[in-house]
Structure 1
Amino acid sequence: MLKITKPLFGLPTIAKASLARTFVSGANTRSAEIKNKLDLPEIIEPVEGLDEVYQVPQRIPATHDVPVCNLHFRGYIPQHLDFYVDFARRAAFALKMPCSGPVYLPTQTSRWTVIKSPFVHKKSQENFERKTHKRLLQIKDTHPEVVQRWLHYLKMNAPAGIGMRATTWEFENVGVGKTMVEKAKKRQRAAPNDVNEANVKEVAAELLKGIEEEAKTKA
């Protein structure tokens, strides 16, 4: 209930405490009505697999220890770089790829000296510095198609300010040289050997006829 107090002079005023209580009680009753209508659960069930995001990723051991891809990361902010490298490692482990690293490569430092003002005040100069941090991940014993999918996924989700350079290796079966020579010989056999001036003229005449017929049909 609202309490009205009569002051000595002027219009009556409403007590603030009683007004606040009415608003709170009205809000509670309204929220209870909405909850009953929607039938909301009191306890939310935990999402499965969410704990893996906060845990250390499970490493996959290499079977043959054969390198397939070296992925270099570069960035100016080490915190962002380490976060994205960890994201790449987790993506590799999710694809069941043996991944080693990250390897902390030497930091590249670049410095510039700029003149603040010309002429007489040339001695007043200012120095600028930029540090490029580098990391390395190495993938082993993985099919090339899986590696390409992993690289494409990282490229799609790459944040601004981080560069990547991938070096991949593909392995062939023993005797690949012989197969390449055989393919070259087959191509030579399939190519026409008797190329004469008469044959060239015949082909040119056929092409001219086709062009003339197309022009007539369009006209």
Structure 2
Amino acid sequence: MLRLLRRYPAKTPVSAFQPRFFTSKVSESNASSIELNEHTNRPLPLNVKLLQHEPIKLEPTHGDLVGKLTVSSFISLRDVQFLSDFLLRAAFYLGIPAKGPTPKQKNIERWTVIRGPFAHAKSKQNFERITYSREIKLFDADPEVVQLLFAIAAKHTMAGVTVLGNAYVNDAFNPKELESIQNINPDFNQEVVNQIKKYMNEGNDEDLSNILKELETGINK
């Protein structure tokens, strides 16, 4: 335990051991601008102050779309807005450039059923359900960081709110696939293209199906 203690001079003031952020000495000019917590009488952290403002968004550098988050609910629009706000803040702290939340078109569903059996069988009752959705687009981020944001969304989801995540990954092209494409007979392909154009002008569906079969057999060869 003694090895963990730092050595200070004998005349070190007590204020040196206090955290700089929570020092009790505050200048009179800044005393009015600092917001204190009513319970602890200490300054509020910066991330807590940011909750009073709109989420900060990082600007995309390359514009590569790497993922989408769709938040939807038919119970409460406020829950959709609240969770979208939370996901935008999480994306900022993870360093993911994001845009949104963009309102999507409302999905309105209606049902008409009988009011009840026997005496009420001739009367009908209508039900309506409106689903609200917001979309958040993610750009220029590593796939692992995007999956981390999806895990946060799945862990901290709200009751009655659905979060759908789509990730887009760019895979490298295999050179062997390029060689197989180059080995296809170009004369055969041009012949098939000419026949397809001919039958498309004539509008014969049976001939088009035959051309497609010939195209499949030619590629397999």
Deviations 1:174-216 (A, max 9, x none): xx302789xxxxxxxxxxxxxxxxxxxxxxxxxxxxxxxxxxx
**RMSD of aligned Cα (Å):** 2.2
1:130 aligns with 2:139: no
Shift of 1:59: 1.8
Please give the residue correspondences for 1:106-121 in structure 2 after superposition, counting only pairs within 5 Å: 106-119=105-118, 121=120
**What is aligned with 1:63?**
61
Task: Rate the CA distance shift 1:180–1:45 in 2: closer, same or farther, 3 A.
Answer: farther
Deviations 1:16-48 (A, max 9, x none): xxxxxxxxxxxxxxxxxxxxxxxxxx9711132
1:93 aligns with 2:88: no
**What is aligned with 2:146?**
147
Task: Rate the CA distance shift 1:149–1:43 in 2: closer, same or farther, 3 A.
Answer: closer
Equivalent-residue separation in structure 2 for 1:144 and 1:179 (angstroms): 26
Could you tell which deviates more after superposition, 120-129 or 157-166? 120-129
Equivalent-residue separation in structure 2 for 1:43 and 1:149 (angstroms): 33
Shift of 1:55: 1.7
Question: Gaps spanning 5+ residues in structure 1: where?
Answer: 1-41, 182-219
The number of equivalent residue pairs is: 139
Task: Rate the CA distance shift 1:127–1:146 in 2: closer, same or farther, 3 A.
Answer: same
Task: Rate the CA distance shift 1:172–1:121 in 2: closer, same or farther, 3 A.
Answer: closer
Identity of counterpart residues, as a percentage?
A: 30
Equivalent-residue separation in structure 1 for 2:119 and 2:112 (angstroms): 17
Question: Gaps spanning 5+ residues in structure 2: where?
Answer: 1-38, 179-221
TM-score, normalised by the number of residues in structure 1: 0.58
CA contact (8 A) 2:57 2:88 kept: no
Task: Rate the CA distance shift 1:180–1:155 in 2: closer, same or farther, 3 A.
Answer: farther
